[in-house]
Structure 1
Amino acid sequence: MKQIELKKLFPFFFLFLFSSGLFAQEAEIVTKLNAIIKPINTLAPDSSFDDIDFLSGVLREKKIVALGEATHGTKEIFVYKDRLVRYLVAKLGYRAITFEADFSGLEVIDNYINGKADSAIIGNNYKPLFKWLKDFNKDKIEQDKVHIYGLEIREFSLAIDRILSLNWNISQQDKTILLGIRNIAFEKIDKQSLANFKEVCSRLPVNVYTKMLLQLIDNYQNFIGIKSKIGVRDKFMAENAIALQESIPNTKLVIWAHNGHVAKSALYNKPTMGEYLFKKYGNKYHVMATDINKGYVSVRTLVAKTKSFSSAQPLYLPEVSSDKAYEYYFSQCKFKNFILDVNKATVDNQLRSFFNQQKEMRMIGGTSTPLNKKLAILTNFDTIIYFNETNSL
């Protein structure tokens, strides 16, 4: 009788031992992470950089440092990226900041931070950073000033207004072409009109702006008529970043964009901007991704009745509870918010295997779905900046 009972209990003993082994492995990974992570002591952008100066040895000689964001609507991410930009500018000599944004719109703000305009319309989330850049540039000679750039064309009106405002020697025929295009929505323009726009721009004085404008037009001629834009923007933004990096002597770029754009591999079956840049620059391209566990983010949610999206509103994300996600392990670390050097971590074979696994990671765009993406951190990111709990913008 006792022998039969033991046989019945054997599967439970096996399950217990198996579970214990898993828990021990989790604990070992967390222990090893605890040995290398650095605490985030402050979010304040204007605080001392002493606690992050350990990054200088890694970032000083890069050609491009990409600052990713797990969501477009998280306060802690924006504030900390602000701090990192200031560090890269003030301590490591970075002088070009590029954004996943409209080129002409950013030029208006560039004029503001370089004293060419008294004011500019700036979103509240970026105001502290652009005010700091303006103050930084105030007493600098031109070659030491910071400039900001957008990596896309998102509308024609700003670009055309800018061209006309410079009083370049433009013929009446070219002005007529520009004014005819000015109010066309970007996604509505036809290829012939865009070709006409390019022809006019090719007759403008040659400088960084017109070079970039022509580069953008070349890229976006292929954008028209494509139903799925996933991956298409990435190719063009990468080409524009490369054109910009190569058009300004001795320029090191900072890229401010979503994690999904700066990642080094094809996350959505199309090459990312980061994949193109990684192939071009190798280890001179460095990705600092941000990650979050729980808290509020600002997103647009799907309205079921109308099948449209609402305006941005707070959405609460519960704590990650699955060991199939990286955040499950990060949330058990000794620091609530921390910086992790992935390349340093993967010197350890167990951590290298861990970060090479396809696990879920927070990947939230402007909408409430999807919230996660399965990926391997090792093949996509060099540094992880982790926040355990967040607030929405």
Structure 2
Amino acid sequence: MQKSKYIKLFPFLLLMSLSSGLLAQETQIVDKLNSIIKPINTLQPDSSFNDIDFLSGILMKKEIIALGEVTHGTREVYAYKERLIRYLVSNLNYKTIVFEADYNGLEKLDDYVNGKIDNTAMSPNYTSLLKWLRAFNKTKSEENKVHLYGVEIREFNSAIDHIFALYRDISQHDKDVLLKIRNTPFDKVDKEDLGKFRMVCTQLPENLQNKMLIQLIDNYYNFIGINSKLGARDRFMAENAIALKESTKDKKMIIWAHNGHVAKMSIDNTPAMGEFLEKRYGDRYYVIATDINKGYVSVRKFIAKNKPVSNWQSLYYPEVNSSRGYEYYFKQCKCKNFILDVDAAIIDNQLGSFLTQPKEMRMIGGLSIPVNKKLSIAKNFNMVVYFDETSSV
């Protein structure tokens, strides 16, 4: 009778034992994370850099610092990335900042921060940073001013306007081709007109901007939008970033882009921009990703397949309650917001295994989905800046 009871209890006891072991492992991981994380003391971009001055020893010899963002619509991420840029510019002499944005649009912002124009349209998310860069540049010689660049061309109209402004002797035939594209909605341009457009562009002087425009033409159907294929886009963004970097005097660059673009490995079954950059520059390419647990994020809500997405709106994402996600462990740490030096953490065998083994991580872009992607933090990012709760921009 006793043996029968024991047999019945065995699965329960085994389950209890396994659960106890898993809880102990979780506690060990959190304790070890606590021993290495550094608290984020402030989100104010203009505050003292004393709490992040440890970065100078880590970043001094890097050539590309990629600042990733877990979402495109999180206030805390924008504020902290601005703080990091101010630090890199002020303390480590970075003068080239490249954005996951339109080349022509950034040209106007560069004119603003360099005092060539006094006003231009700008997103409120970047206003504080742009005003600070403008004030910074006022005190610098021409060769020490900070410059901004977009790493892609995203639409035809501003590029065509730029062609008209630069090349006034263009033939009437070519003008007609460009004007037809200019006056056609972006998603209505047909293949025949696109071919004529490309022919005109190939006859323009060779430079990076014209190269970007031809890239956009060649990838018109899969370059941007909901159905974009990141592989084609990311490969060209990497090429453009390399060209921009090599054109600068000091060969140092900051890249502002989504975590998925700056990652060192494929996340969507196609190579990310960061994968190309890591192959070229090795450990001179350094990625600081951002991560969140819960909070409000500004996104365009996905309704259904073949349905239009919503306008930008604030959407709440609940906390991560599954041990399949990295954030499940991060939220248990002693600091609500912190910096994790991944390269230093993986020296410990247990943390190395934890950060290398693929788990889910927040990966929200401009759309409300997907929310998470399975990846290895250690294989993609050198450092993670974590926020437990966020607000939307």
Task: Name the TM-score class by shorter chain.
Answer: over 0.9
The corresponding residue for 2:39 is 39
Residue 194 of structure 1 deviates from its aligned partner by 3.5
Residue 189 of structure 1 deviates from its aligned partner by 6.2
Normalising by structure 1, report the TM-score: 0.93
The corresponding residue for 2:155 is 155
- Which of 197, 201, 206 is residue 204 of structure 2 equivalent to? 201
1:305 and 1:181, CA in 2 relative to 1: closer, same or farther beyond 3 A? closer
Q: Does 1:316 align with 2:346?
A: no
Residue 315 of structure 1 deviates from its aligned partner by 1.0
Letter in 1 for 2:212: L
* C-alpha distance in 2 between matches for 1:363 and 1:245: 27
RMSD: 2.0
Identity of aligned residues (%): 56
* C-alpha distance in 2 between matches for 1:197 and 1:80: 43
Residue 71 of structure 1 deviates from its aligned partner by 0.6
1:360 match: secondary structure: strand
Residue 368 of structure 1 deviates from its aligned partner by 1.2
1:303 match: secondary structure: coil
- Contact kept, 8 Å, 2:230 with 2:272, in 1: the verdict is no
The corresponding residue for 2:26 is 26
Letter in 2 for 1:102: D
The corresponding residue for 2:220 is 224
Unaligned runs of 5+ in 1: 203-209
2:289 match: secondary structure: strand
2:392 match: secondary structure: coil
* C-alpha distance in 2 between matches for 1:171 and 1:142: 36
Mean alpha-carbon deviation: is it higher for 348-357 or for 158-167? 158-167
Unaligned runs of 5+ in 2: none
1:157 and 1:379, CA in 2 relative to 1: closer, same or farther beyond 3 A? same
Q: Does 1:211 align with 2:207?
A: yes
Mean alpha-carbon deviation: is it higher for 142-151 or for 152-161? 152-161
User: 1:162-173 to 2 correspondence within 5 Å?
Assistant: 162-166=162-166
Residue 228 of structure 1 deviates from its aligned partner by 4.5
* C-alpha distance in 2 between matches for 1:169 and 1:114: 29
* C-alpha distance in 1 between matches for 2:172 and 2:196: 17
The corresponding residue for 2:138 is 138
Letter in 2 for 1:387: F
- Contact kept, 8 Å, 1:38 with 1:339, in 2: the verdict is yes
User: 1:51-66 to 2 correspondence within 5 Å?
Assistant: 51-66=51-66
1:184 and 1:250, CA in 2 relative to 1: closer, same or farther beyond 3 A? farther
The corresponding residue for 1:328 is 328
* C-alpha distance in 2 between matches for 1:225 and 1:275: 23
Letter in 2 for 1:69: E
Letter in 1 for 2:155: E
* C-alpha distance in 1 between matches for 2:180 and 2:336: 55
* C-alpha distance in 2 between matches for 1:385 and 1:225: 35
- Contact kept, 8 Å, 1:156 with 1:185, in 2: the verdict is no
Mean alpha-carbon deviation: is it higher for 11-20 or for 143-152? 11-20
* C-alpha distance in 2 between matches for 1:247 and 1:170: 28
* C-alpha distance in 2 between matches for 1:318 and 1:118: 42
- Contact kept, 8 Å, 2:288 with 2:383, in 1: the verdict is yes
- Contact kept, 8 Å, 1:325 with 1:360, in 2: the verdict is yes
1:175 and 1:366, CA in 2 relative to 1: closer, same or farther beyond 3 A? same
Mean alpha-carbon deviation: is it higher for 15-24 or for 297-306? 297-306
Letter in 2 for 1:211: N
Residue 175 of structure 1 deviates from its aligned partner by 4.8
Q: Does 1:347 align with 2:350?
A: no
Cα deviation 1:277-310 (Å, max 9, x = unaligned) = 1111110111110000011111111335982211
Residue 221 of structure 1 deviates from its aligned partner by 4.1
- Contact kept, 8 Å, 2:202 with 2:214, in 1: the verdict is no
The corresponding residue for 1:207 is none
1:307 and 1:45, CA in 2 relative to 1: closer, same or farther beyond 3 A? same
User: 1:241-390 to 2 correspondence within 5 Å?
Assistant: 241-303=241-303, 307-390=307-390
Normalising by structure 2, report the TM-score: 0.93
1:185 and 1:246, CA in 2 relative to 1: closer, same or farther beyond 3 A? farther
The corresponding residue for 1:206 is none
- Contact kept, 8 Å, 1:293 with 1:389, in 2: the verdict is yes
